[in-house]
Structure 1
Amino acid sequence: MRIDLTGRTAIVTGSTGGIGLAIAKGLAACGALVVVNGRRQAAVDQAVQALSGVGAGSAVGFTGDLGTAEGCAALVAAHPSCDILINNLGIYGQKDFFETPDEEWARFFEINVMSGVRLSRAYMPGMKERDWGRVVFISSESAFNIPVEMIHYGFSKTAQVSIARGLAERMAGTGVTVNSVLPGPTLSEGLEDMLRPEQEKTGKSMEEVAAGFVMTHRPSSIIRRAASVEEVANMVVYLSSPQASATTGASVRVDGGVLSTI
């Protein structure tokens, strides 16, 4: 299968590292013009540089906080149209339910949920008018397997799945598809940073330490390891392609079989 996104513009939010950067690279490799985003100019510049020479595509940067209404409006003003919108921006963090204040619930909702709501609302009418578009929300297996240690995070991921399904139905009969992707434990920079003390203490490889983490915290994993960011990105790139035209309204799992359901 050869995915050709030549002439398509893709916006990937939160894409200066981790899964977002891997998605941006994958889309650029297929020929898309990719808008990468982060809050720090240096990180955005570094991401744009990382995409230079990747396949036939190209990249430009947008520096701004898309966890705010003002940041989303600034992005739309700078880039008023896109064909592919990847709502990847998200935060996570462990905190007991009884110690999580209203402000933290609101922060997770604004960043993880409302960023995608605002950008989808801005860009999807143009996609509908052109009768072609792809919107992907990067959710998590935690949307269904709610982590007791961060219920507020699980709630925000469930909300993304719900919004994606509703938007898919709103676009019924058009060439615009909307899906959510559910990664499981993924060996991104964030997980590496969290596991590095254990790696240094044991002398094991990062992959071995990550596999141990997965089996401790997600013992239902079938692959029994963390996924790579590229493995998640591959699914997103496919869902962004012309070949995925009959896949919409779906929550697509890249969770290594963590969810114990058929």
Structure 2
Amino acid sequence: MIISLKGRRALVTGSTAGIGFATATALAQAGANVVLNGRSMAAVDAAAKRLAAAIPDAEIAGVAADLGTADGAAKLADEVGELEILVNNVGIAEPKPFFETSDTDWEKHFAVNVMSGMRLFRALLPGMMRRGWGRIIFVSSESALHIPTEMIHYGMTKTAQLAISRGLAEVAAGSGVTVNAVLPGPTRSEGLLGFIESMATAANEDPTKLEQALIENHRPTSLIGRLADVEEVANMIVYLVSPQASATTGAALRVDGGIVRAIP
């Protein structure tokens, strides 16, 4: 199967690193015109430079906007204008015991992880429906199904993303627009690897051993027995936004290494 997204314009939020950057890179490799997004212009420019070095003929734009705010989402939607592909990847996570998680923590996670996507969908989905073609992806998490006790507030936002994506798929029924959610498991993103490195330094341990221990102790049901690579998640997203995936909508597709012990 050869996937071509030539002529399609794609926005990937939170795309200066990790799964977001890997997704933007994979979309550009498939021929899409890619809009990068991050909170600072310096981070966006650095990501655009990396992407241009990897794919010299890629068409790349970038918008700095804080999607944890209504103003930031409005700015991004305004500057992007019309597009065919929206991957809402931006998100935050912070382990914290339930009884130490304040209202502010809950509200911040909801604002960034849920409201960011909802605001962009409200602004950009109508245009896709009018034009008769579009792809929307919410990057959720296996934590939407396996709520982590160390960050219930995060798990709640990831479950909310599934509800929104399914509901919007029904809103867009018959329009030529598909809406899906992707559920990665623990992934070798810069954020997680940095966390593991800092723990390894503090404990004077080998980071590789701590990475393996993370899976064995915290995700023992993993069938692959390792962290996923960001490219493995990006590949699923590229398929879902392709013309070949036109019959897949309203779905929650896992790239979790088999952590979730369920068949559907």
Q: Is the 8 Å Cα contact of residues 83 and 132 (structure 1) preserved in structure 2?
A: yes
1:165 aligns with 2:166: yes
**Cα 1:225/1:152, change in 2 over 3 Å:** same
Q: Tell me the distance in 2 between the aligned counterparts of 1:137 and 1:148.
A: 23
Instruction: Report what 1:92 is aligned to.
Output: 93
Q: Tell me the distance in 2 between the aligned counterparts of 1:45 and 1:113.
A: 26
Instruction: Report what 1:45 is aligned to.
Output: 45
CA-CA distance at 1:199 after TM superposition: 4.4
Instruction: Report what 1:242 is aligned to.
Output: 243
Q: Is the 8 Å Cα contact of residues 196 and 207 (structure 2) preserved in structure 1?
A: no
User: Given residue 134 of structure 2, which amino acid in structure 1 is its aligned partner?
Assistant: G
CA-CA distance at 1:107 after TM superposition: 0.6
SS in 1 for 2:162: helix
Q: Is the 8 Å Cα contact of residues 31 and 56 (structure 1) preserved in structure 2?
A: no
Q: Tell me the distance in 2 between the aligned counterparts of 1:204 and 1:83.
A: 40
1:127 aligns with 2:128: yes
Instruction: Report what 1:67 is aligned to.
Output: 68
Instruction: Report what 2:181 is aligned to.
Output: 180
Alignment deviations for residues 184-203 of structure 1 (CA, whole Å, 9 cap, x no partner): 00011111111114545334
Structure 2 unmatched ranges of 5 or more: none
Q: Tell me the distance in 2 between the aligned counterparts of 1:9 and 1:66.
A: 20
User: Given residue 252 of structure 1, which amino acid in structure 2 is its aligned partner?
Assistant: L
Q: Tell me the distance in 2 between the aligned counterparts of 1:107 and 1:199.
A: 29
Q: Is the 8 Å Cα contact of residues 3 and 238 (structure 1) preserved in structure 2?
A: yes
Compare 179-188 and 98-107 and name the one that shifted more.
Answer: 98-107
Instruction: Report what 1:2 is aligned to.
Output: 2
Structure 1 unmatched ranges of 5 or more: none
SS in 1 for 2:20: helix
The size of the alignment, in residue pairs, is: 260
Q: Is the 8 Å Cα contact of residues 37 and 62 (structure 1) preserved in structure 2?
A: yes
Q: Tell me the distance in 1 between the aligned counterparts of 2:211 and 2:84.
A: 35
Q: Tell me the distance in 2 between the aligned counterparts of 1:258 and 1:141.
A: 8
Q: Percent identity?
A: 55
SS in 2 for 1:202: coil
CA RMSD of aligned residues (A): 1.3
Q: Tell me the distance in 2 between the aligned counterparts of 1:30 and 1:56.
A: 12
Q: Is the 8 Å Cα contact of residues 30 and 56 (structure 1) preserved in structure 2?
A: no
Alignment deviations for residues 195-241 of structure 1 (CA, whole Å, 9 cap, x no partner): 11454533454xx5322211110000000000000000000111111
Instruction: Report what 2:214 is aligned to.
Output: 213
